[in-house]
Amino acid sequence: MTKAEIIARIYEKVGFSKKDATDVVEATFDIIKGCLEKGEKVKVSGFGNFVVNTKRPRKGRNPQTGDEIIIAGRKVLTFKPSQILKKSLNSGASQS
């Protein structure tokens, strides 16, 4: 599924104009991205939470040369699926 398919589903099945569907879908992902960029977490009930975690710098090794290197600290995004989403993947009806 792509963004275009999500948009199509909204204007075909939910009955909004193609333009409204496109604009709102684009804005939704933009707003979420903007929030995460600021380090704020985004909680979508029934779907899951997007959380920005901070990784501390650590020592690593170049596996090829064996040189010790410092891996810089960084911020990473993680997604924690909601129980509802996890359950719906295992509800039986559409199991593959």
Partner 1 sequence: MTKRDLIDEINKRFPHLSHRDSEVIVNAIFDAMVDAMGQGERIEIRGFGSFVVKHRRAREGRNPKSGEIVSVAAKRVPFFKVGKELRLRVDGKPVPEGTE
Q: Of residues 18, 60, 61, 86, which one binds partner 1 by CB under 8 A?
A: 86
Place of tokens 């929030």: 35
β-pair type (68-71, 42-44): unpaired
When asked if residue 12 is in the footprint of partner 1 (CB under 8 A), the reply is: no
Instruction: Write down the least CB distance from residue 43 to partner 1, Å.
Output: 5
Residue labelled with tokens 């779907």:
47
| Window 32 to 71, contacts with partner 1 (CB under 8 A) | 32-33, 35-37, 39-48, 50, 52
Tell which phi-psi region holds residue 46, choosing left (phi > 0), alpha (psi between -120 and 50) or beta: left
Least separation, in Å, of the C-beta of 26 and partner 1? 10
